[in-house]
Amino acid sequence: MSERQLVAVDIGGTHARFAIATIAEDGAISLDEPETLHTADHVSFQTAWEDYRARKGGHLPDAVSLAIAGRTSGDAIRFTNNPWVIRPALIKEKLGASRYTLVNDFAAVAHAVAQAPDDQFLHLAGPDQPLAAEGTLSVLGPGTGLGVAHLWRDSSGYRVQATEGGHVDFAPLDQIEDAILARLRKRHMRVSVERVVSGPGIVEIYATLAALEGKPVAEMDDVSIWQAGMEGSDSLAAAAVDRFCLALGSMAGDFALAQGGFGGVVIAGGLGYRLREILPGSGFAERFRAKGRFADLMGTIPVKLITHPQPGLFGAAAAFAKEHG
């Protein structure tokens, strides 16, 4: 096998990231400097692709892997937060690709977890040891929503499974979380975990804490609350960030139990990466272990945060390599 190149693309609601990925003869994957385009600046994926192609001098490799925030099956792939439509049957013609791969964005992150070296993981909780070489690993991460996947591996290779785990029910553990749920129930008959454990979820947490203290709710968007909370310039926002870390720990433990992710749990996503210095000193680890009769078992699971700067792009390339050999 000779070295080959492909275009790796990671498409979300707000951004589409592009990079040229190189797969070496030994299977090692490297990326050139990624380009980030705003989906709002382009009426279709085709025009975004053409913009990227122009930035790369008018020529791109004839292979492509698309990591997509959502389902990757069907005649037309539509996005929740942008107007783009991708029709798989037309990919080869429209993009000039001889081979392509479509992969869910969080499945791509799971591919990255399977392929990334140990030095690209930051220890968060549990025993300070590498992720298990055999068994199931749970992979999850908060961002605009909550992505959840898992992978199983042994000496012969690995398999990835994307899920819709972000849409399971939110389960409160104390009176404050009861209040968060009650607030959300006024607008949603059913409250999924990503209503709380996601970037926008901080708004609901912040508003609930303000109401519990009898304070007026400041007109702040999620970006402003995260910034103020992580800087410590607003004590209520800082308390909301702490509360978020608790909920993330609970949810991560739930998925480890549900998926059998006893070989390790990996936190990913842009927000997860931003919290890398806060999570180790928060109540995340305590909540992760707080599973009643299974607390001792939970304490044996290594919990890591993937630090690769572009796990979606890296994973898209890894998914292509696994599919096409």
Binding residues for ATP: 9-14
Give the C-alpha separation, 217 to 208, whole Å. Answer: 9
Give the C-alpha separation, 99 to 81, whole Å. Answer: 27
Half-sphere exposure of 174 (CA within 13 A, CB side): 7
Q: Which residues contact 94 (CB under 8 A, 6 or more apart)?
A: 46, 49
- Letter string b/e over residues 83-107, b meaning 16 or more CB atoms within 10 A of that residue's CB: ebebeeeebeeebebeebbbbbbbb
Give the C-alpha separation, 127 to 303, whole Å. Answer: 8
Give the C-alpha separation, 63 to 15, whole Å. Answer: 21
Annotated binding site: 9-14
Q: Which two tokens stand for residue 228?
A: 């103020």
CA quadruple 55, 58, 63, 67: dihedral sign: positive
Q: Which two tokens stand for residue 102?
A: 């479509």
Q: Which two tokens stand for residue 22?
A: 């190189």
